[in-house]
Amino acid sequence: MSDVTSILGAVERGETAAAEELLPLVYEELRKLAGQKMAREPAGHTLQATALVHEAYLRLVGQESQAWENSRHFFSAAAEAMRRILVERARRKGRIRHGGQWQQVSLEDIEVAIESEGDTVLFVHEALEKLALKDPVCAELIKLRYFAGVSNVQAAAMLGLSDRTAKRDWAYARAWLAEALREQSDA
């Protein structure tokens, strides 16, 4: 990952050729993370993992004032960018001009009533905002695990935590998030 860190430094300094070198190094990892998240999307969704990676990458590299400390910081920012893209997409789908609360339903599935994935993403986003105020490390762990789809071991390495601490924080964060989502659905 030291190659990624050095290229990130070059991107930060404004070297345009460095951005072209960065994409091949991080693309497969970002594509894998996006694919894991997109696997949770309902059938018939229009956003593909490749589009999610490209949008997140453009947001990350296209920013004028960026300062990447290391590859962990970059992948954390990528997870955050993917989260924001999915939240924006869920909000956009919830707007009246995009059908509001109406959902396209197959006649074969007419008997089953399910909560849309978009609502879940919005609930998780709102809960994460609250958790970040209370425990930023746990909020970051949720972002990496839920939105970027990384394993607990990978998230621990990215956050500079021991595996045991990451497991403990993950258990706490999941319990806290489940309670927050339960309160949100009751409201």
d(CA 35, CA 33): 5
Instruction: Check the CA dihedral 81-163-172-150 and report its sign.
Output: positive
HSE (side-chain half, CA atoms, 13 Å) at 140 = 18
Q: Which residue has the higher pLDDT, 110 or 126?
A: 126
Q: Do residues 173 and 141 make contact, with C-beta atoms less than 8 angstroms apart?
A: yes
pLDDT band at 64 (very low <50, low <70, confident <90, very high): low
Whole-number average pLDDT of the chain: 75
Question: Do residues 119 and 113 lie in contact, with contact meaning Cβ atoms separated by under 8 Å?
Answer: no
The pLDDT tens digits of the residues spanning 114-165 come to 344 566 777 778 888 899 999 999 998 888 887 777 888 888 988 999 999 9
Identify the pLDDT of residue 101.
55
Structural domain containing residue 138: 2-186
Task: Check pLDDT > 80 for residue 104.
Answer: no
**What pLDDT, on the 0 to 100 scale, is given for residue 180?**
84
Cα separation, 186 vs 113, whole angstroms: 17
User: Tell me, what's the pLDDT at 186?
Assistant: 74
Structure-model confidence comparison of residues 97 and 132, the more confident one: 132
pLDDT of residue 111: 41
DSSP-derived 3-state class of residue 37: helix
Please tell me the total count of domains within the chain. 1
Q: What is the H or E stretch that residue 156 is in?
A: helix 152-159
